[in-house]
Structure 1
Amino acid sequence: MGKAARKKGPKKDRKPKVRDVFVAQPFEGLAAEPELIALREFVPSATARLSLRDSPDRSVTLATVLPMAAAAFVRGDGEAFVGLQVQTRSSDISRDLGRALRWVLTAEPGDVLSVPDTTSPPAEGERLQDLLVADAELDIQLHEDFSWWLPEGTEPSGEVAMSLERANAAIKPSERLGTGAYWVLPGDKAHLRWVRPEPENKVLQALARLSAAGEIGLGEGSRYAGSFRAHGLLVPVWDLDPEAHAQEWKEPAERLGDRLEEALRSLDDEPLNAAERRARDGLLGRQLTLR
């Protein structure tokens, strides 16, 4: 006798597979790309109003860290915030932030989005590039603490109070010296961390040209330390004398920026010479791990 035929049950509906590709440069195309990276990666307490493409009259504030590291929330006074520094992320940070932004536009005072939506299939029109004015810069406001979490005159309580206390205790001094350029004091050494908008290879070549010419520093009390990558862009880092006030480095940083811009322009006409190529090889070996 042959084998008994197996009964086939009804086919189960299968969810279509969605190709979710990692986006290495999530803020590409936005004029504020260097600032977005700085605020997400190493600036402790800062805010900036967003320029919304389809809702120019709506007020939404982008922030480094929100209470309990929330993705978005609406204060009791109706002020809406979207947080950059969150614990959960998908393969596309721009999409995570765009979803948080769309959520906060319809949220009510007191509503909190604890984590961004990182599981829904990608859809059209939900990335920051779809929601923000692409050429709008960010007007960065640095803060010495996180008191801006609460409306003026409000006393914190419960989990918010504990989160506020922890956040204030962990904050490190920082000051903005220019677009994407921040003086930070994370420990015994002060640093200049500068998110550069140009392609990584171009920045390295320009830095190599300055290094070979002895012009890569900010002057006495400074030393080029290396660089790290963040969301598709290169972030050169300089060690600075911690005894000097942050604003004492503003003018030297501007002069360095001018030299770097000139070196970048010169690359179109003058390839690196032998000494500059050796300098570039040395720079490539000085990659840092951000702590």
Structure 2
Amino acid sequence: MGKGARKKGPKKDSTRKPKVRDVFVGQPFEGLAAEPELIALREFVPSATARLSLKDSPDRTVTLGTVLPMAAAGFVRTDGEIFVGMQVQTRSSDISRDLGRSLLWALEAKEGDVLSVPDTTSPPEPGERLQDLLVADAELDIQLHKDFSWWLPEDADATGDIAMSLERANAAIMPTERIGPAAYWVEAGDKAHLRWVWPEQENVLLQALARLSAAGEIGLGEGSRYAGSFRAHGLLVPVWDLDPEAHAREWEEPARELGERLTAAVKSLDSEPLNATERRARDGLVGRQLTLR
């Protein structure tokens, strides 16, 4: 090679796929009326289903499930029933797009087809997110189940991998009851909790909780204690410890009354800022927060 000659570098691979920028979406279900319920189904409800209201296919029946066989993203039962799974092992930084792609796959799938994981690598395309596919103001009619028998058509028996997956999933279920909108009582061993997903933005909800805390009204009555909160997909989820000896139904009325107090506290913030005592209460609540991603 002569002096001053430029060394040629390796040829570019023209077949290499362009890198997809995975932009994190902190509030993936924003704009959907069912946002709090979707978060609950994604994060802590063990076995539940709900029919989806499709924007462009109102006559199609698609069932959203918490967990599907083998933690699949979607499948079509042998009787033609279409399912999309909320709790999957693989995700991108936009869960709404993951679920939307699984839903689009399911609408084209045949009986017996299974989508093991959602598509998390293809470049984003218009019309793929849940907000593009679902009726925005539609609520979810949540159906809780004591096991995962809904994976199978009626009178069908599980075999092979499905039977093993069904057995493991059933063994992991903690008793859960829905005692209000996005409010779930759960029995966790020798403890019981109320986990409640609220639609208000975090700062607003924290101020409202602080107002109730300063007034001694943050609990659900005797046998309850405010435990803290965690962030999940852009919303705050307050948690209360409850007397495990009390049945879930015994907390329905206290939860309704607490909901009324909390709603009133949120409204009062428009005209009455927090006072010094309430601000100190808010600082204490902030110290008991966790974040789930």
TM-score, structure 1 length as denominator?
A: 0.96
1:165-204 equivalences in 2 (<5 Å): 165-204=167-206
Alignment of 1:20-31 (within 5 A): 20-31=22-33
Residues 213 and 68 from structure 1, CA distance in 2 versus in 1: closer, same or farther, beyond 3 angstroms? same
CA distance in 2 between partners of 1:15 and 1:190 (Å): 49
Structure 1 contact 20–122 (Cα < 8 Å) conserved: no
| 1:286 paired residue among 281, 285, 288 | 288
Query: Which residue matches 1:272?
Result: 274
The Cα shift of 1:288 comes to: 4.4
Provide the residue aligned with 2:223 in structure 1.
221
**Are the structure 2 counterparts of residues 219 and 9 from structure 1 closer, same or farther at C-alpha, using a change threshold of 3 Å?**
closer
Contact 2:71/2:116 (CA < 8 Å) preserved in 1?
yes
Q: Which amino acid aligns with 2:171?
A: A
Contact conserved, 1:227 with 1:234, CA < 8 A, in 2? yes
* 1:194–1:5 distance in 2 versus 1, CA, 3 Å: closer
Gap regions ≥5 residues in structure 1: none
Deviation by residue 1:257-283 (Cα, 9 ceiling, x = unmatched): 000000000000000001101111111
CA distance in 1, matches of 2:10, 2:198: 59
Pick closer, same or farther for the CA change 1:223–1:289 going to 2, 3 Å.
farther
The residue number in structure 2 matching 1:261 is 263
Cα separation, 2, equivalents of 1:22 and 1:9: 34
The SS at the match of 2:188 is coil
Q: State the percentage of identical aligned residues.
A: 80
Q: Deviations over 1:44-96 (max 9, x none)?
A: 00000000000000000000000000000000000000000000000100000
Q: Distance in 1 between matches of 2:132 and 2:12?
A: 38
Q: Deviations over 1:199-218 (max 9, x none)?
A: 00000000000000010000
Aligned to 2:72, which of 67, 70, 73?
A: 70
Aligned-partner Cα distance in 2 for 1:91–1:177: 31
1:133 matched residue in structure 2: 135
Does the CA-based 8 Å contact 2:65-2:83 persist in structure 1?
A: yes
Alignment CA distance shift 1:214-1:10 (3 Å): closer
SS of residue matched to 1:88: coil
Q: How many residues align?
A: 290
What stretches of structure 2 of length at least 5 have no aligned partner? none
Q: Could you give the per-residue CA deviations for residues 240-265 of structure 1, whole angstroms, max 9, x where no partner exists? A: 00000001100000000000000000
In 1: Cα distance, 2:262 partner to 2:250 partner? 19
Q: In structure 2, what is the equivalent of residue 84 of structure 1? A: 86
Residue equivalent to 1:2 = 3
Secondary structure in 2 matching 1:102: helix
Residues in 1 aligned to 2:95 and 2:291: alpha-carbon distance in whole angstroms: 20
Mapped partners of 1:264, 1:181: distance in 2:
18
Q: What amino acid does structure 1 have at the position aligned with 2:151?
A: W
Secondary structure of 1:47 counterpart: strand
CA distance in 1, matches of 2:18, 2:159: 45
